[in-house]
Structure 1
Amino acid sequence: MGSTYRKTAEQVLEKIGGEENISSATHCVTRLRMVVNDTEKVNTEELENIEAVKGSFYSNGQLQIILGNGVVDKVYKELMAITGREEQSKEETKEDAGNKGNLLQRVIKVLADVFIPILPAIVTAGLLLGIDNLLTGEGIFFDEASIIDVYPQWADFADIINVIASTAFVFLPALIGWSTVKRFGGNPLLGIVMGLILVHPDLMDANAYGEAVASGESIPTWNIFGLEIQAIGYQGQVLPIFVAGIILAKLEVFLRKRIPDSIQLLLVAPIALLVTGFLAFIVIGPITFAIGNSIIDGFIWLFGTLPVFAGLLYGAVYAPLVITGMHHTFLAVDIQLTTAADGTFLWPILALSNIAQGSAAFAMYFVFKNNNLKGLSGTSGLSAWLGITEPALFGVNLRFRFPFIFAIIGSSIAGMFVTINQVLATSVGIGGVPGIFSIQIGSWGAFGIGMVIVILVPFLLTLLFARLAKPKSLNE
């Protein structure tokens, strides 16, 4: 098996122009990610004809080659062994790619760099909350009763699961703080501390702040030389710790360059945390809290006032957003909706869009005569149903175009349906078929119908079009 991965690495190396054309290389869950010196030397057509390669594309200055989960890391190790290079981190390769792209692209890239590393914790929490929902939800297995109502001995078990599952959301600012400070070159541990500062139990809980303002209750404040500072926490908030983390990292780097090594331990971290902490409570927190709530209120208004349009639109644009990388901007909105509102109405559409792309890829299995393409469509379809869509998107659907279009049609219809029926996810989970466990129990029926739509519509339309229209792209 090892020789197979080495052969793939050798083939990839040949088709991208050889070792001298690689500036830097790393990998993610499914893709080799390379910065090449000369894109003209890359033979994309022959590269994609390699058996293990499921597609390729350029993004953020990088050549990204889709190999799939469980394969990419082994091929990458062989590639590094062949070229005699040391393995590189994604951050090093991104830095090598330079600040290519416009301002919006660079912002999206930063958001991806910050939120993707914490996604495993969020997804795990979502899955565990799904188990908790099964144990505590009424009307699932018994009429108007839950499992713990009928079997009280399971109540403490459910309680422990809830504690484990909800921790990632309770201390969400600590996760974001760690990732943000790390991304901007600071000490990640200081990012964790900064996040924990913003959810300190001595502060008024952010979730109670709105109720206190509405009822006219007094808000606890600090008085520093006549300056009134509200002593409120930022539980479930994304923007406050994101901005504070950037400032903390930049300040720490600034101080380390100017303070002698012998006294850095005594001065750098205390000064950086103290200054950033004061700024967080005086300026950063209040401003970003208002901005974040305005963004969330805007989405709630749109999906509440124009559900047909909003659901249809988001269902249509999500897959194209994945291609550009802009879908990462909505991850922050999803996370905040799950913690600051009743749930997120965006994430169910994301899950349905992924299933739709998988269904279109599965349909191509019955269209292709080439065994390699059959294998690619089957494995990439399954991958999309489990939440990883790149192999289906770039390896099959975009390559032949019409499956991608029919997948979008299916996800648009399903997005409109679940939005009309007010389907909400209690957490961000696996963006595919297992995603139903992150959906509020009362919405399982509507979400299930949405799943039927995105399974049947893309599959049938793709299959019928291929059989009846016989598109020229199949002959390429």
Structure 2
Amino acid sequence: MDIRKQTEEIVQALGGKENVSAATHCVTRLRLALHDEEKVDKEALNNIDLVKGSFSTNGQFQVVIGQGTVNKVYNEFIEMTGVGESTKEEVKKASESNLNPLQRAIKTLADIFIPILPAIVTAGLLMGINNILTGADIFYSGQSVIDVHPQWTDIASIINLIANTAFVFLPGLIGWSAVKRFGGSELLGIVLGLMLVHPDLLNAWGYAEAQEGGSVDTWKFFGLEVEKVGYQGQVLPVLVASYVLARVERFLSKRVSDGFQMLVVPPVTLLLTGFVTFVAIGPITFAVGNFLTGGFVSIFEAVPAIGGLLYGGLYAPLVITGMHHTFLAVDFQLIATIGGTFLWPMVALSNIAQGSAAFAMMLATKDEKLKGLALTSSISAWLGITEPAMFGVNLRFRYPFFAAMIGSAIAGIVITIAGVMAPSIGVGGLPAFFSILYEFWPIFFVGMGIVLIVPFTLTFIMAKIKMKKEA
């Protein structure tokens, strides 16, 4: 394989070296910031032997090469284009010039929530294990595992504690990630988030009951009366507060001399942000979050079939635009407000549907390169990572993508009508049932059957019809 020659072909297909603004790579892909993605000849690019797929996301154009080989291609690439080696952060900044205001807002949310997803997904899986140990009728009629085997009770309790930690201290995680994204000190972001769930504050999950009983404690100062309420599991309060904290810290840092930075900037920043948060930001965003969640829930309760059809069917197109990241905040808000999310189970099924469509292409095609790409990407999608299947296979041929959308929409209708809920976000693929409440397992397995069979069948039939026409 002539890597240099094929790298030259990649550069030409990308619109030439003058179209490349910055370049880096990860384990399997070239990650590029291009001046104009319209100049990319995608058909020529995807026909190069080294290239296993390509796609654009968040202003970056990514070319899938493969583990090991991508390092050699990258070395040749930077020599040919003269762009020099770039870090991932530099490529991110360069690619932001390609985004419109809405895309930048979505990217900001993605930059905040993606770093904390490993903790949330891990918590979801551990909650699933705890549900298996504590749920009745799973292995024993009318009893749970810990009922029959009491020696497992404390183990289940520890697992539950570990699993709940990420959600109890979610504002701390978001505070760290958000303040970092907004250009402030991550440590102050952590303190801000933990401050919002301090044990001296009334737990947010008991606020409604305490309010009805008239037992909500308050602070009284400067003629104000501020309720001592925490924001466990809430998203909007800590997001807005993190933005304010970062702006205040940057404002002070520019105006306080270096010798007094430590004595002035952190305490004044936290003090000002804390007061503003408890007096205004918290109460306002708490009310807004509950209002939006209530509206969302009422729509799905009134017309669950339509809600399932739209979200189940359109989730994959949302991934293309990057807008799916905005629904992470909705999931968190639902979990905090009603104790679970009915959106994430549809996400898991959508991922499986994309994998099933790609797997059908693997069996239907005679192209050995496509077979290998379709097999590996379908397995990846079944385990929750859909981008290789979507961008490398399904969108390339279009009909597999639409077949996956159809299967996901049908499954979305079925599980939404049944009211399937997940207490947390987990792995969005075949292992997803671990993060679904046990009583919904049977109907969720029906949904899994739909997204395994319908996209596969539709894609396979369409592929054979097209091959017959081309022959």
TM-score relative to the length of structure 1: 0.92
Deviation at 1:72, TM superposition (A): 9.0
For the 8 Å contact 2:179–2:185, the answer to whether it is kept is yes
Alpha-carbon distance in structure 1 between the residues aligned to 2:326 and 2:72 = 30
Task: Identify the range of structure 1 (336-345 vs 295-304) with the bigger mean alpha-carbon deviation.
Answer: 336-345
Deviation at 1:22, TM superposition (A): 3.4
Match status 1:326 vs 2:323: yes
Compared CA separation, residues 287 and 97, structure 1 to 2 (3 A): same
2:63 maps to 65
What is the root-mean-square deviation in Å for CA atoms of aligned residues?
2.5
For the 8 Å contact 1:365–1:374, the answer to whether it is kept is yes
The one-letter code of the counterpart of 2:124 is G
For the 8 Å contact 1:13–1:79, the answer to whether it is kept is no
Residue deviations 1:166-195, cap 9 Å, x none? 111110000000110110111111100000
Match status 1:192 vs 2:186: no
Alpha-carbon distance in structure 2 between the residues aligned to 1:397 and 1:413 = 19
The one-letter code of the counterpart of 1:210 is A
SS, match of residue 378 in structure 1: helix
For the 8 Å contact 1:387–1:431, the answer to whether it is kept is yes
For the 8 Å contact 1:54–1:394, the answer to whether it is kept is no
Match status 1:259 vs 2:251: no
Residue deviations 1:212-233, cap 9 Å, x none? 22x3323111001211111100
Residue deviations 1:363-394, cap 9 Å, x none? 11122111001111111111111111111111
Compared CA separation, residues 402 and 312, structure 1 to 2 (3 A): same
The one-letter code of the counterpart of 1:445 is P
Alpha-carbon distance in structure 1 between the residues aligned to 2:26 and 2:400 = 26
Aligned equivalent of 2:399, options 385, 397, 402: 402
Compared CA separation, residues 77 and 137, structure 1 to 2 (3 A): farther
Alpha-carbon distance in structure 2 between the residues aligned to 1:28 and 1:230 = 48
Compared CA separation, residues 123 and 294, structure 1 to 2 (3 A): same
Compared CA separation, residues 463 and 162, structure 1 to 2 (3 A): same
Task: Identify the range of structure 1 (30-39 vs 359-368) with the bigger mean alpha-carbon deviation.
Answer: 30-39
Match status 1:370 vs 2:364: no
1:96 maps to 94
Task: Identify the range of structure 1 (281-290 vs 58-67) with the bigger mean alpha-carbon deviation.
Answer: 58-67
Residue deviations 1:409-432, cap 9 Å, x none? 100000000001111011101111
Match status 1:314 vs 2:325: no
2:344 maps to 347
1:175 maps to 173
1:123 maps to 121
1:304 maps to 301
Compared CA separation, residues 337 and 9, structure 1 to 2 (3 A): farther
2:214 maps to 217
2:138 maps to 140
Q: Which runs of 5+ in 2 are unaligned?
A: none
1:241 maps to 238
Deviation at 1:342, TM superposition (A): 2.5
Deviation at 1:54, TM superposition (A): 3.2
For the 8 Å contact 1:56–1:394, the answer to whether it is kept is yes
1:424 maps to 421
Deviation at 1:147, TM superposition (A): 1.1
Compared CA separation, residues 40 and 337, structure 1 to 2 (3 A): closer
SS, match of residue 114 in structure 1: helix
TM-score relative to the length of structure 2: 0.93
Alpha-carbon distance in structure 2 between the residues aligned to 1:425 and 1:457 = 24
The one-letter code of the counterpart of 2:169 is F
Match status 1:274 vs 2:280: no
Deviation at 1:80, TM superposition (A): 8.4
